């Protein structure tokens, strides 16, 4: 009975190439948008971008876990460990960025109300934290971009190992899924529907 394979397992194996494609498409899009730009000029712009970072990182994490064939080929689980490590680090950095920008945004937007309720002295001290938080945010963003670049190498190595296990048809399905998912992520601001599996 130990060799008996349930349907869920065979489905996971069947869609391993598609899961890898979706993961790689989400990461590719994350790399495309994680660039300096006008969005950095306002607290709200930065906060919105960090929310997008977090959403895409979660996509990459989820699809890495879903498409891992740990029950079929134990090595795959080991291959995924470095990827999961750097993704978790990216997620924590993006969350920190979100918290820092959120604090500054809230203080600036609620300045009048905060000054009234906290008193001018306390509010002045709170305002002073904004400059400090913005400096920390800049440093954290640089760290995020550096880790993202290192992570790209880790993910590419993982993808190469995974793709070596693909059949010719799985390679075809991977390429088709990657293109569809990348187009989906690029157009998601327009509320595009997720593509159907190839």
Q: Is residue 50 part of a domain?
A: yes
Q: What is the pLDDT of residues 2-39, one digit of tens each?
A: 444 444 344 445 578 899 999 999 999 999 999 999 99
Mean confidence (pLDDT) of the chain: 81
Q: Is residue 75 part of a domain?
A: yes
Residue where the block lists tokens 């994680």? 34
Count structural domains, the chain: 1
For residues 67 and 144, what is the distance between their CA atoms, to the nearest angstrom? 25
Which is more confident, 90 or 122?
90
For residues 29 and 36, what is the distance between their CA atoms, to the nearest angstrom? 15
Largest Cα–Cα distance of the chain, in whole Å?
73
pLDDT of residue 87: 94
pTM surpassing 0.95?
Answer: no
CB-CB contact of 82 with 122 (8 Å): no
Listed in sequence order, the residues at least 6 apart from 68 whose beta carbon sits closer than 8 Å to its beta carbon are: 76, 77, 80
Q: Is residue 27 part of a domain?
A: yes
pLDDT of residue 103: 79
Q: Is residue 87 part of a domain?
A: yes
Q: What is the pLDDT of residues 69-95, one digit of tens each?
A: 544 555 556 678 889 999 999 999 999
The top-scoring range by mean pLDDT among 7-11, 12-16, 41-45, 144-148 is 144-148
For residues 176 and 186, what is the distance between their CA atoms, to the nearest angstrom? 16
Q: Is residue 1 part of a domain?
A: no
Phi-psi region of 110 (alpha: psi -120 to 50; beta: other; left: phi over 0): alpha
Which is more confident, 195 or 99?
99
Alpha helices in 34-119 (DSSP H): 43-66, 74-109, 111-118
Which tokens hold the place of 104? Answer: 């500054």
Q: Is residue 2 part of a domain?
A: no
* Cα within 13 Å of Cα(168), Cβ side: 0
Q: Is residue 21 part of a domain?
A: yes
- Domain interval for residue 79: 7-190
The count of residues in the chain is 198
pLDDT of residue 16: 82
Q: What is the mean pLDDT of residues 151-178?
A: 93
For residues 165 and 162, what is the distance between their CA atoms, to the nearest angstrom? 6
Q: Is residue 162 part of a domain?
A: yes
């Amino acid at each position: 009975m130990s060799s008996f394979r349930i349907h869920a397992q065979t489905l996971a194996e069947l869609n391993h190439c598609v899961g890898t494609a979706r993961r790689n498409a989400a990461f590719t899009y994350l790399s495309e948008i994680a660039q300096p730009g006008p969005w950095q000029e306002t607290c709200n712009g930065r906060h919105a971008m960090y929310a997008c970072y977090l959403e895409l990182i979660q996509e990459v994490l989820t699809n890495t876990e879903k498409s891992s064939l740990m029950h079929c080929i134990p090595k795959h689980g080991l291959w995924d460990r470095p990827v999961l490590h750097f993704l978790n680090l990216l997620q924590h950095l993006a969350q920190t960025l979100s918290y820092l920008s959120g604090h500054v945004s809230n203080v600036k937007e609620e300045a009048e109300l905060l000054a009234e309720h906290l008193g001018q002295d306390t509010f002045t001290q709170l305002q002073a934290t904004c400059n400090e938080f913005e400096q920390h945010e800049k440093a954290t963003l640089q760290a995020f971009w550096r880790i993202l670049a290192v992570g790209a190498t880790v993910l590419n190595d993982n993808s190469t190992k995974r793709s070596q296990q693909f059949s010719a048809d799985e390679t075809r399905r991977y390429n088709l899924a990657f293109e569809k998912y990348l187009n989906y992520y690029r157009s998601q601001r327009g509320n595009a529907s997720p593509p159907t599996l190839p």
